[in-house]
Chains A and B, each alone.
Chain A
Amino acid sequence: MRKLLLAAALAALCPLTGFAQSTGDLLKGAQNDTSNVLNYGMGYNLQRFSPLTDINRDTVKRLVPVWNYSYDDNKSEESQPIVYQGVLYVTTNAATMALDAKTGQQIWKSKIEYPDETPRIVCCGIINRGVAMYEGKLFRTTLDANVIALDAKTGKELWRSHAIDFKDGYSMTVAPLVADGVVITGISGAEYGIRGFIDGWDPETGKHLWRTYTVAGPDDPNGKTWPGDTYKHGGGSTWITGSYDPELHSVFWGTGNTGSWNPTSHPGDNLYTCSVLALDPKTGQIKWHFQFSPNDPYDYDSVAEMVLADLTIGGKPTKVLMDANRNGYFYVIDRTTGKLITANPYVDKITWAKGIDPESGRPIPSEVTDKVRKGEAQEVWPSALGGKNWSPVSFNPGTGLVYANTLNMGMQYKPVTPEFRAGLTYWGAEIGWAMPDGPRGFLKAIDPMTGKSKWENPSDIPRFSGVMSTAGGLVFAGKLTGEFEAFDADTGKKLWQFKTGSGVEGQPVTWRQDGVQYIAVSSGIGGVYNMFSGDDRLAKVPAGGSLWVFALMPQ
């Protein structure tokens, strides 16, 4: 009888392990499975940390490119590669590609088409951030707000689900998340007066399973935080992939700024904009929310990655969520309850708030913000690009530090009366830059509990790449001027760099295959800083997307 039960149990497990790639594989993350990179963020925790040590402080000087692959695309290349069993999957706005991870040879390329009008409603770069993989299928989004599934072996499209009409300002750049067998996607467009949401899809058929609005409507008790019909254009985009804690069965997804930016056009807290939501992946139900910037005037969009870690706080192991928020404060939140543990500045200059109330978690507005709420123009720090923009951080559990590409920029901000017109911007503010004389950005090694930096590495033109750290004592990041760089994780000293042909806005990943550790990163300029900062120095950096893969040269 016992044998029979065992056989039945094995048979029940087989369908999971027999597929090309399973829930079990996804749960491992790059920290427990160094031969693959199966998750956006290199793990459900979005830590972007690898335990691999072949490439380390001593050997990194032998790091050389082993292949380069042209994307045949001149847009911003922010896609994070996924690697499974020696095949690398990567995207641009215009194609999905499968490559031999060792040689760079293209296995297949599946092109994406969208109407020529689509880029009109994309504020900050023509971008796609990558695929999710599950049971032999790849899932990605398209700029014109479709979610599609491809056969990982052939690139053939298996299903296509239309999320919403792009002509109303909605677009998609997000890499999907597969959590507990549900494909989860976000939406872009808070600058165009959308009403944001997060969707759940059936991976097998593309059937729409649920939609959770990030702007509470009349059917939600928090809908009262929006006067009248303002929720209909309330913003709250969700364009960065969430993290997932399978033990808590919670997905943690950040939400974007209000529509319009002018806070007087929608007085109230404007839930759930500029927040993090803890969601049940099966139903999309909100378990808790934490709002970073209520009634936000400044585009302090909080979509960027919610990194999960287990920290010892007050001698107690604590399941936390960490966020280097656009508003300039570094938050550590108890991810079981949604309660704030601590929030401290991680940038040098914050003028919009005096601090974060430790009890309520709410910001304490400064005189600057009081005046803005009365309709006055003010100089505000950080700028609308934030203390950190989308560029994902890395958390190294060994050093306990968060490595982040931070920004040092302010803005001249003037609220104006917004006018909604479908398909056009719905800003409600005029902004100009207040740039410092020196560096506009720093790669920082941040203590999450204090916000203070152990070290900082400046850059005149700020870095906008993802960051990756490894147990080899290294931190990898890239510059908009094209350099892909490695730093000593303890000191911040630059140990290595390679000049790629365009600006690096990509997200580095690493894996080990046939005894060799590889590192991959996309190069290709065209993101928000390049387009919107007015930084003429980048005229010397040509567009041109490609993927670079590096390994150690034999001794």
Chain B
Amino acid sequence: MKVLTCLIAGTLFCAGLSIAHAQTGEEPAPSPEQFAKGANLFAHTCSHCHGPEMVNPGNFSFDLRKFPHDGRERFFNSVRNGKKAMPPWKDILHQDEIEAIWAYVRTGGVAPQ
């Protein structure tokens, strides 16, 4: 009985996790190397519009501190194709570079432990 309860509880827990993941789309934390690469790329490619370490008033460019951390598709689309004041970058930034910048942005600029 105890085993059955555990199984049910475990199944419910897993289901809960998978629902939560489906709802938020949150991705696993990036590796420290990927985060560092993203922070460096952000500083050199993005910070003059989006501010050092993503701190900017948000009146000219998007305040990336407010970018939803489950917004991978939206992020990639904006970076690759441009949106409003954002220029398109797909012909110059490689996929792995955008991936690294996304790793930096979706962690809110906080390095993974």
**Which residues of A line the B interface, CB within 8 A?**
74-76, 116-120, 123-124, 126, 191, 423-425, 427, 430, 432-433, 525-526, 530-539, 541-543
18 A-B residue pairs with CB within 8 Å = A74-B85, A75-B60, A76-B60, A116-B82, A117-B82, A117-B91, A119-B87, A425-B45, A432-B52, A525-B59, A526-B59, A530-B57, A530-B60, A531-B60, A531-B61, A532-B47, A534-B55, A534-B56
Shortest 10 CB-CB contacts between residues of A and residues of B? A534-B55, A538-B57, A539-B57, A526-B60, A119-B87, A120-B87, A425-B44, A534-B51, A534-B52, A123-B48
Which residues of chain A come closer than 8 Å to B48, judged between CB atoms? 123-124, 191, 425, 531-532
Which residues of chain A come closer than 8 Å to B59, judged between CB atoms? 525-526, 530, 538-539, 541-543
**Given contacts A116-B87, A120-B87, A541 and B44 within 8 Å (CB-CB):** no
Which residues of chain B come closer than 8 Å to A118, judged between CB atoms? 87
Which residues of chain B come closer than 8 Å to A542, judged between CB atoms? 59
Which residues of chain B come closer than 8 Å to A432, judged between CB atoms? 52
Interface centre among B52, B57, B88, B89 (most CB of A within 10 A): B57
User: B49 on the interface (CB 8 Å rule)?
Assistant: yes
Whether the Cβ atoms of B60 and A543 lie closer than 8 Å is: yes
Report which of A423, A526, A538 forms a contact with B92, defined as CB distance below 8 A: A423
Which residues of chain B come closer than 8 Å to A530, judged between CB atoms? 56-57, 59-60
CB nearest neighbor in A for B44: A425
| Chain B interface size, under 10 / 10 to 19 / 20 to 34 / 35 or more | 20 to 34
Which residues of chain B come closer than 8 Å to A75, judged between CB atoms? 60, 85
A543 to B63, CA, bound (A): 14
Which residues of chain A come closer than 8 Å to B87, judged between CB atoms? 116-120
Q: Give the number of A-B contacts (CB < 8 Å).
A: 74
Instruction: Please report which residues of chain B, range 1-38, place their CB below 8 angstroms from some CB of chain A when the two chains form the complex.
Output: none
Whether the Cβ atoms of A433 and B52 lie closer than 8 Å is: yes
Whether the Cβ atoms of A120 and B89 lie closer than 8 Å is: yes
Which residues of chain A come closer than 8 Å to B51, judged between CB atoms? 531-534
Whether the Cβ atoms of A539 and B58 lie closer than 8 Å is: yes
Which residues of chain A come closer than 8 Å to B49, judged between CB atoms? 119, 531
CB nearest neighbor in B for A532: B48
From residue A147, how far is it (CB to closest CB) to chain B in Å? 22
Instruction: Please report which residues of chain B, range 53-82, place their CB below 8 angstroms from some CB of chain A when the two chains form the complex.
Output: 53, 55-61, 63, 82
Which residues of chain A come closer than 8 Å to B92, judged between CB atoms? 120, 423-424
From residue B57, how far is it (CB to closest CB) to chain A in Å? 4
Whether the Cβ atoms of B57 and A536 lie closer than 8 Å is: yes
A536 to B89, CA, bound (A): 27
A543 to B60, CA, bound (A): 6
Which residues of chain A come closer than 8 Å to B45, judged between CB atoms? 424-425
Taking A531-B48, A532-B51 as given, write out 10 further A-B residue pairs in contact, using a Cβ cutoff of 8 Å, ordered by the A residue number. Answer: A116-B82, A124-B48, A424-B44, A526-B59, A530-B59, A531-B51, A532-B52, A534-B53, A536-B57, A541-B59
CB nearest neighbor in B for A503: B59
A376 to B63, CA, bound (A): 32
User: B43 on the interface (CB 8 Å rule)?
Assistant: yes
CB nearest neighbor in B for A120: B87
A191 to B48, CA, bound (A): 11
Whether the Cβ atoms of A430 and B60 lie closer than 8 Å is: no
Interface centre among B43, B51, B58, B59 (most CB of A within 10 A): B59
Which residues of chain B come closer than 8 Å to A430, judged between CB atoms? 43
CB nearest neighbor in A for B40: A430
CB nearest neighbor in A for B60: A526
A432 to B51, CA, bound (A): 11
From residue A522, how far is it (CB to closest CB) to chain B in Å? 15
Which residues of chain B come closer than 8 Å to A120, judged between CB atoms? 87, 89, 92
From residue A515, how far is it (CB to closest CB) to chain B in Å? 40
A178 to B60, CA, bound (A): 33
Which residues of chain A come closer than 8 Å to B58, judged between CB atoms? 539
A542 to B60, CA, bound (A): 8
Whether the Cβ atoms of B85 and A427 lie closer than 8 Å is: no
Whether the Cβ atoms of A116 and B88 lie closer than 8 Å is: yes
A427 to B41, CA, bound (A): 12
Which residues of chain B come closer than 8 Å to A117, judged between CB atoms? 82, 87-88, 91
A123 to B47, CA, bound (A): 9
Which residues of chain A come closer than 8 Å to B61, judged between CB atoms? 531
From residue A367, how far is it (CB to closest CB) to chain B in Å? 26
Whether the Cβ atoms of A427 and B44 lie closer than 8 Å is: yes
Which residues of chain B come closer than 8 Å to A123, judged between CB atoms? 48
From residue A169, how far is it (CB to closest CB) to chain B in Å? 11
A425 to B53, CA, bound (A): 17
A471 to B60, CA, bound (A): 37
A536 to B58, CA, bound (A): 8
CB nearest neighbor in A for B52: A534
A541 to B59, CA, bound (A): 7
Which residues of chain B come closer than 8 Å to A541, judged between CB atoms? 57, 59
